[in-house]
Amino acid sequence: MSVRIRKLWSDADIAKLRSMAGNYPTAQIAQELGRGLSATVMKAHELQLSLRRKSDVVRRDNSEPGPAGMDLS
């Protein structure tokens, strides 16, 4: 029977999460912190941090047609 020992979040861990959130992939943040992906996502949610990368946010120009020339306006 395996026993999981929960690793508490230090102030340094939280500061690193805050600085990396939105700038790096979530998997890389988790690896840097030595934590699992779900633990990293849950802590970011608890701190109300977005893990969505700023470079992934796409702004759509409404003047261009949609897929296969469909007008999405």
For the chain, domain boundaries = 11-54
pTM of the predicted protein model? 0.70
| 63 has a pLDDT exceeding 80 | no
3-state helix, strand, coil in the chain (%, to 5): 45, 0, 55
Q: CB-based burial of residue 29 (10 Å sphere; 0-12 exposed, 13-18 middle, 19+ buried)? A: buried
pLDDT in tens, 35-62: 999 999 999 999 999 999 887 655 555 5
Q: What is the pLDDT of residue 6?
A: 83
